[in-house]
């Protein structure tokens, strides 16, 4: 377990600890996981990340493991089925955004402009991770110029629930940003 101030937000919750120690701030290049995280971050809007992580397994089951090829085929009946699933966040706009975002990813890949969501999202930093040197959580912004830029680009491509605050959190979750505090043992160590 992390002994730095980073552990403050895990509050002793084993699921949050596991997420913090093994996933948060670690570069992800798996398209399905990148898409899942984008959807989960959108689901979080107005809720706590703890709530979403505790429902993550149910989300994966409900949304066919976040397989975009299956999600783009969802019908109104499937939306109603999801709206009746007590194990996930039952918000019609958020559920429909998963379908909308799957369609946007599929369209982007089929256009051959980018061969994958991984290539697209990492192109904003030329494939490089950005490691911030924050000493306290109060220093971490909720959005920045990059999250605003990516948010605008995603919206132009037809994505929804991708505002700059959601995108900043997404960039942390998929490891484009390493926002572990400087004293955290899970901080990426690189030579500048």
Longest dimension (CA), the chain: 53
Relative orientation angle of helices 76-83 and 92-110, to the nearest 10 degrees: 130
Q: At which residue do the structure tokens 């493991």 appear?
A: 65
Of 19, 74, 120, 122, the active-site residue reads: 19
Of 8, 9, 18, 49, the active-site residue reads: 49
Of 24, 41, 74, 177, the active-site residue reads: 41
The pair of structure tokens assigned to 171 is: 């960039």
Q: Which among 16, 19, 64, 17 is positioned nearest to 39, based on CA atoms? A: 64
Whether 49 sits among the annotated catalytic residues: the reply is yes
Q: What whole-number distance in Å separates Cα of residue 9 and Cα of residue 46?
A: 17
- Torsion sign across C-alpha atoms 121, 123, 127, 131: negative
Q: Which among 66, 64, 71, 62 is positioned nearest to 99, based on CA atoms? A: 71
Whether 19 sits among the annotated catalytic residues: the reply is yes
Q: How many CB atoms lie within 10 A of CB 12?
A: 8
Known catalytic residues are 19, 41, 49
């Amino acid at each position: 377990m992390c002994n730095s101030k980073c552990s403050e937000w895990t509050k002793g919750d084993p699921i949050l600890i596991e997420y913090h120690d093994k996933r948060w701030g670690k570069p992800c290049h798996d398209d399905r996981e990148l898409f899942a995280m984008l959807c989960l971050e959108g689901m979080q809007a107005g809720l706590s990340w703890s709530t979403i992580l505790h429902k993550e397994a149910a989300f994966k089951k409900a949304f066919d493991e976040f397989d975009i090829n299956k999600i783009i085929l969802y019908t109104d009946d499937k939306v109603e089925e999801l709206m009746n699933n007590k194990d996930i966040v039952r918000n019609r706009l958020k559920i429909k955004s998963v379908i909308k975002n799957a369609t946007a990813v599929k369209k982007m890949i089929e256009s051959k402009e980018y061969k994958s969501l991984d290539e697209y999202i990492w192109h904003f930093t030329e494939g490089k991770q950005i490691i911030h040197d924050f000493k306290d959580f109060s220093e971490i912004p909720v959005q920045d110029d990059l999250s605003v830029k990516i948010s605008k680009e995603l919206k132009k491509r037809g994505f929804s629930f991708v505002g700059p605050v959601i995108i900043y959190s997404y960039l942390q979750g998929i490891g484009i940003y390493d926002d572990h505090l400087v004293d955290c043992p899970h901080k990426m160590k690189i030579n500048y």
